[in-house]
Amino acid sequence: MNYKVILQEIYNESEKLATLGKITSSIPELGKVDPDKFGIHLTTIAGEDFGIGDSEEKFSIQSISKALTVALAFSFLDEKIWERVGVEPSGSAFNSLVQLEYEKGIPRNPFINAGAIVIADILVTHLKNPKQDFLNFIRMICGSPKIDFNLKVAQSEKDTRFRNAALANFLKSFGNIHNDVDEVLDFYFHQCAIEMTCKELAHSFFFFANEGKTKAGVPILTKSQVKRLNALMQSCGFYDESGEFTYKVGLPGKSGIGGGIAALYPKNFVVATWSPRLNQKGNSELGMNALELLTTKTEMSIF
Ligand code: GLN
């Protein structure tokens, strides 16, 4: 497969869509990013790297971090994790509060904010120095000591935290947050404020495509656990657009409102895209389109 040529074609074909969508306004610091950035990086399981555009520029990974926190929490708790968060698509916006009331404080899945806040609580319980230990985990799976939080983004999230604070307090009222609410939110805002390039993101997601082992061969999850998290990304990774992403792209993946998407074809490749202009559901317009072109051109989707 000539990925270099295919990425170039996708990049050229994306130009005509370049003004679709809007950069997020919900986190003021993220609104300052140049909306016209666009990068793609693809890493094969054999270890080849292909990048194009702004693929080596850092951006805020935001909700993409939820796939990495749930992986670490799953490695601690295994199946017990599902006592506190479900595995069903929510069909509602990522920051929605409504289902929590009916479902007695058990969020539908770990990729909506409510579920990710419960996972953050689990990590605050299990890690000695939660933020630093999580950062070290990310650096290890990525194979780069250069990954860090953007503290301005974390502060901006804190300043505008009202919806996430409502979710965390509501969860706490059901007994599904075990630590101090502010500590859990602080952890959550920092995980969202991690910055990576498309290349670093593709390398960080490598273990999802490599039967649970990082690019350097470190085992993170078992084959069965990775199959389960990939299934969950497939059904819930794009909030109320997960069906659409499955329909158009056909790969498990996870998006974030910084405009990034990480997706993978098990045992074949990991791909990361970044374009800050989002559609109505909070997913990257250009990124989704680029991935649709990728699986169409390569005829490599899991379906
Ligand atoms: N930090 C963002 C929030 O909590 C993450 C949301 C997202 O990327 N969809 O609202």
For 101-145, the pLDDT digits (tens) are: 989 999 999 999 999 999 999 999 999 999 999 999 999 999 999
Do the annotations mark residue 63 as ligand-binding? yes
Confirm whether 132 is domain-assigned: yes
Residues 276 and 289: beta-carbon distance below 8 Å: no
Assess whether pLDDT exceeds 90 at residue 15. no
| Residue 113 Cα to ligand 1 middle (Å) | 7
Instruction: Extract the tokens encoding 18.
Output: 């370049």
- When pLDDT is cut at 50, 70 and 90, the band that residue 17 belongs to is confident
Confirm whether 252 is domain-assigned: yes
Q: What is the pTM of this model?
A: 0.97
| Residue 4 Cα to ligand 1 middle (Å) | 32
What range does the domain containing 115 cover? 3-298
What ipTM did this prediction achieve? Answer: 0.96
Q: End-to-end CA distance of the chain: give it in Å, rounded.
A: 18
Confirm whether 303 is domain-assigned: no
Q: Tell me the pLDDT tens digit for each residue of 179-203.
A: 999 999 999 999 999 999 999 999 9
Please tell me the predicted confidence (pLDDT) of residue 18: 81
Specify the number of domains making up the chain: 1
CATH at residue 59: 3.40.710.10
Do the annotations mark residue 188 as ligand-binding? yes
Rounded (10°) angle between helices 65-77 and 130-142? 100
Do the annotations mark residue 113 as ligand-binding? yes
Q: Which atom belonging to ligand 1 lies closest to the Cα atom of 192?
A: 1
Confirm whether 56 is domain-assigned: yes
Residues 248 and 287: beta-carbon distance below 8 Å: no
Confirm whether 165 is domain-assigned: yes
| Residue 254 Cα to ligand 1 middle (Å) | 12
